[in-house]
Amino acid sequence: MTNPLALIAEITHRCPLHCVYCSNPLELAAVRDELSTSEWIDIFQQGSKLGILHAHFTGGEPLARPDLTELIAGARAAGLYTNLITSGIGLAEPRLKQVVDAGLDHIQISFQDSREDAANWIAGAKSHAYKIELSRLIRRHKIAFTVNLVVHRQNIDHLDEMISFIEQLAPERMEIAHTQYYGWALKNRSALLPTRAQLDKAVEVVAAAEKRLAGRIRIDSVVPDYYARFPKACMGGWGRRLMLINPAGKVLPCHAAEVIPGLTFENVRDCSLEYIWQESSSFQRFRGEEWMPEPCRSCDQRSQDFGGCRCQALLLTGNAAATDPACSLAPAHHIVEAAVADANSDPAISESVSAASFVQLQQLTQSLWSYRKNRNKFEPGSTAKTGTQ
């Protein structure tokens, strides 16, 4: 068995945004259940001994934790490379300097669009201007910077404009992330899944941008798996590379694993990380190839995609052990084909939608999608149960 390489630290589910494609679970963890500072620092030390190299701080919005600086310092002291994935709300210059001084190596900001009204509409909150401001501040510090752009039916038609916008922010890396259909995104799939024509054009736009920006900005982009021949190697394979710890201390092989009925996930409050990685039934359930049904079991692709995504299999077929329906060879591939056929039966209208004003866009919202509902009020650095226990 290999050791895990990265720890995804979901330190809170609190968030100032309400993105319609959020991959957090529909049932969010409560503030009163969040792990304390000392519990997280202990996790980083255990993780380092287990061979973990990277700590990704995410949420929700990690800046909601007033102890974020201490957490980053704790991960760094444990020898981990630290990455902060943030909306930027609540990160003014003094706090940015603090987290950089604490040892932050890399920061990633997600943008919803290049157009302010459309970006705020998708986020369900006015956040776009803050993100631009923060991107400028980041470039004054010596940390690596990635801009992530979530692409879908409503913004994909002006991908070239969005790439030029990101170019101005001067990141080292740009991630063009097609929406993945879990959580709120699955609920809103019909409003988010692009048409085949939109996707084909987007692939050309990205190829041209890669050529133009070569040597300056690296672009990472993956075709959405609903349109691919084979599924994505979700999380690099179940229990192969990653551990995700949710705000309440549950340890999961991926962000959506809790949707799978019948699996019990251990909590870092009760068991060591090493035990969970090596012994827990949840990490062993879909590790390796033993669990695979046909056609995966005898398929040449199985060492590349590990049979696709277990959560997507569950969400679309009701059986987590089924071949991922995104795979063109899957017995249940007709489910994905039907969603794709639906998406292609109506012409997409993204240009006119995303060029509309915020007020016009708000009027569209009710019939188009549901925003992520937040369980707790967000205040940057607001006090949860932190400190030592």
User: Site residues (CB under 6 A) for ligand SF4?
Assistant: 230-231, 295-296, 299, 301-302, 305, 307-308, 323-324, 327, 329-330
- CB 9 to ligand SF4: min, Å: 29
What's the rounded Cα separation, in Å, for the pair 32 and 37? 13
Cβ closer to ligand SF4: 275 or 291? 291
- CB 308 to ligand FES: min, Å: 8
Report which of 241, 219, 225 is spatially closest to residue 180, judged by C-alpha positions.
Answer: 225
309 interacts with ligand FES by CB under 6 A:
yes
- CB 180 to ligand FES: min, Å: 8
Sole residue written with tokens 């489910």:
335
Q: Taking CB under 6 A as the criterion, which residues in 221-240 touch ligand FES?
A: 234-235, 238
327 interacts with ligand FES by CB under 6 A:
no
What's the rounded Cα separation, in Å, for the pair 127 and 214? 30
Range in contact with ligand FES (rule: CB under 6 A) among 62-70, 253-261, 293-301, 350-358: 253-261
202 interacts with ligand FES by CB under 6 A:
no
Sole residue written with tokens 């705020």:
120
Cβ closer to ligand SF4: 145 or 230? 230
- Structure-block tokens of residue 16: 């100032």
Output the CA angle 171-226-236, nearest 5 degrees: 60
Q: Which letter does DSSP use for residue 389 in this model?
A: -
Q: Which letter does DSSP use for residue 386 in this model?
A: -
- Structure-block tokens of residue 189: 């799939």
What's the rounded Cα separation, in Å, for the pair 274 and 257? 19
- Report the residue from 128, 285, 310, 372 that binds ligand FES according to the rule CB under 6 A: 310
- CB 211 to ligand FES: min, Å: 32
| Binding at 239: pick from ligand SF4, ligand FES, none (beta carbon under 5-8 Å per type) | none
254 interacts with ligand FES by CB under 6 A:
yes
Q: State the CB neighbour count (10 A cutoff) for residue 302.
A: 16
- CB 150 to ligand FES: min, Å: 16
- CB 320 to ligand SF4: min, Å: 13
What's the rounded Cα separation, in Å, for the pair 229 and 131? 36
Pair 343, 193: CB distance under 8 Å: yes
- CB 312 to ligand FES: min, Å: 6
256 interacts with ligand FES by CB under 6 A:
yes
| Binding at 307: pick from ligand SF4, ligand FES, none (beta carbon under 5-8 Å per type) | ligand SF4
Report which of 346, 321, 342 is spatially closest to residue 332, judged by C-alpha positions.
Answer: 321
Cβ closer to ligand FES: 89 or 254? 254
Sole residue written with tokens 């039916």:
153
Cβ closer to ligand SF4: 174 or 296? 296
311 interacts with ligand FES by CB under 6 A:
yes
What's the rounded Cα separation, in Å, for the pair 327 and 71? 39
What's the rounded Cα separation, in Å, for the pair 273 and 367? 44
Q: Which residues bind ligand FES (CB under 6 A)?
A: 234-235, 238, 254-257, 309-312
